[in-house]
């Protein structure tokens, strides 16, 4: 494995305003195609290999097809496709026209799908034929043109439907690439909607470029990134952008696979990944040990610092860093390399100011938990805001700072630590409990595949801790055994009172657990109650 030093990760990256040619995708892609036309850019699991020159030619052809379908500079183009070549062509083609790429989660349906389409204001959608039927029965009258890729659906009745991949593979019409600017909207990314309807975030070229330079600035021309995050997620599009900026190559997979992760690393000689987020590290940590665990090409990864994530990195001998980011921001916090403190988000990067504030936006003292607020030196390195959501924009940007909705604290040395989502924190008997910390310990219990910790009303006031757990395939979970496992591992006040075993946890379309649904359902009939079972947890007395 190649060595990596802390200096290779740009916590203090160059904060100067990049030129348009260094920042906007049409110019960057054209430059790469001219300088290194035969260098591999994007690889796919089916064996396709796109060089920089070939990718630019394909993007030009896609731009021609989109123009012929009426797409103009400034338009939004909805793209409802899985990760793969067609999604990349649609994205790059839209940007070359000067349009805003608006990817949709392929899990969308019903009212959520209707809401996203309506919010986007788009009149053109590029979609997979297998998704067409989901448009039936919802209000999509604003869509004038559907560009359907794949086998033609038998039931579709749509006057504006265009079939066949030839739309994205039209003969290049020779029109110049659009002259887009750094502050123009490059993409419209919808949030996960964990606490309400999804909001569409208008991300500028400079924001995406800045986030990619900070998060993936360690990459060099000889690196290979394994991308398993979806392209409707900021991590998926950001990692492709980081690859383009570095001039290296990436492997674009349809989705994350626990079983295939290391096989993919070996097969493509991947040196880094698009990020191990959410439950990915926990899933990888549960893989059976192998004598060859350290025998791999992976040298660096970006990931939240959970105990499982650190364990995976040490077990497989790769370096890592962490930080904090949201779809609306450009990585305001970054850690040093190989930090071993779970929850650490590091310190503010150059050009970014961060504070921890209370409910009245008054800055908190070190060690006190509050909401993280952010502002940047350079304009347009945060999003343009939420599309058609003026009230949400006003709430997020009150008093001149972007309010993240996340609880963190800062220690005396200036390091920031993540505690919880503002709406996910649990208050029990005068103690503030991080749901993330409860979940981390529960995940360590054998047989737990997924977990969500929430607060439910307590007869004594405030809240009790409820954990909803889903077992790994073939496992059976005993709530009493789980609680006995947790008692010596966590403070008494964090030990869950209720355990709800479910086949699977409810998810948002971006595969985040819908804690709001579990919280609203509360203590259901199938919940196991620690108190009713006679298991007492007492405060330690000295």
Alpha carbons 103 and 233: distance in angstroms, whole number: 8
Alpha carbons within 13 A on the beta-carbon side of 253: 19
Region of 84 on the Ramachandran plot (φ > 0 left; ψ -120 to 50 alpha; else beta): left
pLDDT in tens, 194-229: 555 679 999 999 999 999 999 999 999 999 999 999
Per-residue pLDDT for 3 more than 50? no
Residue-averaged pLDDT of the chain: 91
pLDDT at residue 466 tops 80: yes
pTM exceeds 0.75 for this model:
yes
Evaluate whether 433 touches 486 at the Cβ level (below 8 Å).
no
What are 432's strand-pairing partners? 427
Residue 161 pLDDT > 70: yes
pLDDT at 189 exceeding the cut of 50: yes
Average pLDDT over residues 507-522: 83
Does domain 322-421 sit in CATH 3.40.50.2300?
no
Helices (H) and strands (E) in the chain, counts: 14, 28
Indicate whether 239 pLDDT > 60: yes
Q: What is the largest CA-CA distance in the chain?
A: 80
The confidence score (pLDDT) of residue 402 equals 98
pLDDT at residue 460, rounded to an integer: 65
- Is residue 134 very low, low, confident or very high in pLDDT (cuts 50, 70, 90)? confident
Helix (H, G, I), strand (E, B) or coil at 498: strand
Q: Is the dihedral of CA 517, 520, 522, 526 positive or negative?
A: negative
Res. 237: pLDDT tops 80 = yes
Arithmetic mean of pLDDT, 322-344: 94
User: What pLDDT was estimated at residue 306?
Assistant: 87
**CA distances (Å), origin 7, targets 260, 329, 437:** 31, 23, 30
| CATH code 2.30.38.10 region(s) in the chain | 322-421
* Measured distance CA(71)–CA(74) in Å, rounded: 9
Report the pLDDT value the prediction gives residue 203, as an integer from 0 to 100. Answer: 98
Residue 235 structure tokens: 């991590």
Kindly report, residue by residue over 255-271, the tens digit of the pLDDT: 999 999 999 999 999 99
Contact 508, 193 (CB under 8 A): yes
* H helix or E strand, kind and range, residue 463: strand 463-471
Q: DSSP H helical segments within 247-378, as ranges?
A: 261-268, 280-285, 307-316
Q: What is the pLDDT of residue 13?
A: 62
Give tens-digit pLDDT for 394-436: 999 999 999 999 999 999 999 999 988 888 878 887 677 878 8
Q: Length of the chain in residues, anyone?
A: 542
Region of 95 please: left (phi>0), alpha (psi -120 to 50) or beta. Answer: alpha
**177 has pLDDT over 70:** yes
Pairwise CA distance, residues 453 & 188, whole Å: 31
Every domain of the chain with CATH number 3.30.300.30 lies at: 430-529
Neighbours of 471 (CB within 10 A): 17
Q: Tell me the mean pLDDT in the region 277-283.
A: 83
CATH number of 430-529: 3.30.300.30
Tell me how far apart the alpha carbons of residues 357 and 363 are, in angstroms, rounded to a whole number.
Answer: 4
71-126, pLDDT tens digit by residue?
999 999 999 999 999 999 999 999 999 999 999 988 788 878 898 999 999 999 99
Average pLDDT of span 355-373:
96
């Amino acid at each position: 494995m190649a060595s990596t030093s802390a200096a290779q990760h740009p916590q203090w990256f160059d904060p100067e305003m990049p030129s348009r040619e260094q920042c906007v995708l049409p110019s960057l892609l054209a430059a790469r195609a001219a300088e290194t036309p035969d260098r591999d850019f994007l690889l796919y699991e089916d064996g396709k290999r796109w060089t920089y020159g070939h990718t630019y030619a394909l993007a030009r052809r896609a731009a021609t097809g989109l123009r012929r379908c009426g797409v103009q500079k400034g338009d939004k183009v909805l793209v409802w496709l899985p990760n793969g070549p067609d999604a990349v062509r649609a994205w790059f083609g839209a940007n070359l026209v000067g349009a805003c790429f608006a990817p949709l989660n392929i899990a969308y349906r019903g009212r959520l799908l209707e809401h996203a389409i309506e919010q986007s204001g788009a009149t053109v959608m590029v979609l997979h034929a297998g998704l067409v039927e989901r448009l039936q029965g919802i209000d999509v009258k604003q869509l004038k043109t559907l560009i359907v890729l794949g086998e033609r659906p038998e039931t579709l009745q749509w006057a504006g439907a265009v079939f066949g991949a030839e739309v994205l593979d039209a003969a290049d019409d020779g029109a110049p690439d659009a002259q887009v600017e750094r502050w123009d909207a490059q993409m419209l990314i919808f949030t996960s909607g964990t606490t309400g309807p999804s909001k569409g975030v208008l991300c500028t070229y400079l924001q995406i470029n800045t986030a990619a330079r900070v998060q993936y600035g360690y990459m060099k021309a000889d690196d290979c990134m394994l991308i398993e995050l979806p392209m409707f997620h900021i991590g998926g599009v950001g990692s492709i952008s980081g690859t383009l900026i570095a001039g290296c190559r990436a492997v674009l997979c349809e989705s994350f696979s626990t079983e295939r992760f290391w096989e993919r690393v070996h097969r493509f000689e991947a040196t880094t990944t698009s990020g191990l987020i959410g439950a990915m590290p926990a899933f990888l940590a549960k893989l059976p040990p192998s004598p060859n665990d350290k025998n791999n090409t992976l040298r660096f990864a970006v990931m939240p610092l959970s105990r499982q994530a650190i364990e995976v990195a040490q077990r497989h001998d790769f370096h890592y860093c962490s930080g904090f980011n949201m779809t609306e921001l450009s990585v305001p916090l970054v850690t040093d390399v190989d930090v071993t403190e779970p929850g650490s988000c590091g310190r503010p990067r150059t050009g970014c100011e961060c504070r921890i504030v209370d409910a009245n936006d008054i800055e908190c003292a070190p060690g006190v938990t509050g909401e993280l607020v952010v502002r940047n030196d350079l304009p347009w390195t945060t999003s343009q805001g939420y599309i058609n959501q003026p009230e949400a924009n006003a709430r997020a940007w009150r008093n001149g700072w972007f309010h993240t909705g996340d609880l963190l604290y800062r220690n005396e040395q200036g390091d920031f630590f993540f505690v919880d989502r503002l709406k996910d924190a649990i208050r029990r008997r005068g103690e503030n409990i991080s749901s993330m910390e409860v979940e981390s310990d529960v995940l360590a219990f054998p047989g737990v595949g997924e977990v969500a910790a929430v607060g439910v009303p307590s007869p004594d006031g405030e809240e009790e801790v409820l954990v909803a757990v889903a077992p790994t395939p073939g496992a059976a979970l005993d709530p009493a055994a789980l609680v006995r496992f947790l008692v010596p591992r966590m403070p008494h006040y964090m030990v869950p009172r209720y355990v709800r075993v479910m086949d699977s946890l409810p998810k948002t379309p971006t595969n985040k657990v819908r804690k709001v649904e579990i919280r609203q359902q509360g203590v259901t009939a199938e919940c196991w109650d620690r108190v009713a079972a006679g298991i007492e947890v007492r405060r330690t007395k000295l």
